[in-house]
Amino acid sequence: MKIKLIFILTIFFTGTLIVKAQEDDLESLLEEDMGPVTEKVLGTFLSTYVLNNHSVELLNKNGINFRISHKFGFLNTGSDNFYGFDNSSVFTGIEYAPADWINVGIGRGTFRESFNTMVKIKLLEQQTGAKEIPVSIAVYSELDYRTKKYVIEDLQNDKSGRIEYTSQLLIARKFGKKLSAQLMPGYTHRNLVETREDINGIASVGVGASYSLLKRLRLNAEYYWVQEHDTPAAEYFSPLSAGICYQTSRHAFELFATNSTGITSNNHIAYTTGDFFGGDVCIGFNISIVFSVKR
């Protein structure tokens, strides 16, 4: 019995070694024929957004992303305002990928009552192997057209004054399997500002990060340094957001806390009046549904 067992184990381990040797020989032959392999780094972020701002991720060709973003009022407004839940701002948008390297989109937001258009173009994609690229890079631009009536009646017909736009360079890197980070320098321009003391152009630099807790669950955070543009009528702060992102095969759910009630990049960067560390914190959530118009 012992001899049979030893014989069987010998056959098993010998066969394993032979198969392994054959696999190594096959890999060597493939490398000789095809050269060193280059691999793209996938899943830097779970969706096309970090939280408020776009990420370097793009939809695949013919992909569509239907997205609803919702933010309530500040929690410190008290029980009379049901801790901010009596107030809210909503943005509904749809994005489409005519090609793998470009996404376009339109949307409508209740904050400042504006229509939004956007375009995002991929320039570089992080990859390892024979041809190593250390970061992914994309450019992003959006335009808001404000429809809310002006207080001054003479301005109602000023169409160009209703336009605001933001352009950003998105630079991201995935560090191993857990951590991703993104740098977001940008510029926001408002054709018409509220007061003479306000400025039209605002520079900003954002930082986003994503840390994988589980396969489909991540902890995300964003922070923006924003050029000072306070006026006697309003004080503005740097937007700060932190929350969790959960993704299924077609859906992404994000729940977060932030000091910004604006949702589009223009409103998020230029009109944040809440002081996060002073208690001006609101709850927000995003829901994204991704599908394709072709198989």
Q: Residue 251: count other Cβ atoms within 10 Å of its Cβ.
A: 12
Tell me the average pLDDT across 58-68: 95
Let me know: does 201 contact 167? Beta carbons within 8 Å. Answer: no
Query: Which residue did the predictor score with more confidence, 1 or 182?
Result: 182
| pLDDT at residue 156 in the model | 66
Tell me the average pLDDT across 181-206: 91
Q: Residue 221: count other Cβ atoms within 10 Å of its Cβ.
A: 17
| pLDDT at residue 70 in the model | 94
Distance, CA of 286 to CA of 67 (rounded, Å)? 7
Query: Which residue did the predictor score with more confidence, 183 or 150?
Result: 183
Distance, CA of 211 to CA of 256 (rounded, Å)? 14
Name beta bridge partners: 285: 70, 255
| pLDDT at residue 26 in the model | 54
Residue 24 — very low, low, confident or very high, per pLDDT cuts 50/70/90? low
Q: What does the mean pLDDT of the chain come to?
A: 86
Residue 16 — very low, low, confident or very high, per pLDDT cuts 50/70/90? very low
Residue 224 — very low, low, confident or very high, per pLDDT cuts 50/70/90? very high
**Among 6-20, 72-86, 97-111, 177-191, whose mean pLDDT is lowest?**
6-20
Written as one string, the DSSP assignment of 45-67 is SSSSBSSSSB-S--PPTTEEEEE
| pLDDT at residue 28 in the model | 63
| pLDDT at residue 153 in the model | 62
Tell me the average pLDDT across 226-246: 92
| pLDDT at residue 20 in the model | 46
| pLDDT at residue 167 in the model | 97
Answer left, alpha or beta for residue 129, where phi above 0 means left and psi between -120 and 50 means alpha: left
| pLDDT at residue 193 in the model | 82
Q: C-alpha distances in angstroms, 138 versus 17, 122, 126?
A: 46, 4, 11
- pTM exceeding the 0.75 threshold for the entire prediction: yes
Does the pLDDT at position 9 exceed 80? no
pLDDT digits (tens, 9 = 90+) for 86-141: 888 999 999 999 999 999 999 999 988 899 999 999 999 999 888 899 999 999 99
In the chain, the DSSP E strands lie at: 38-40, 63-74, 88-99, 102-109, 114-124, 127-129, 136-146, 163-175, 179-190, 201-212, 217-226, 240-247, 251-258, 282-292
Tell me the average pLDDT across 225-252: 91
Does the pLDDT at position 19 exceed 70? no
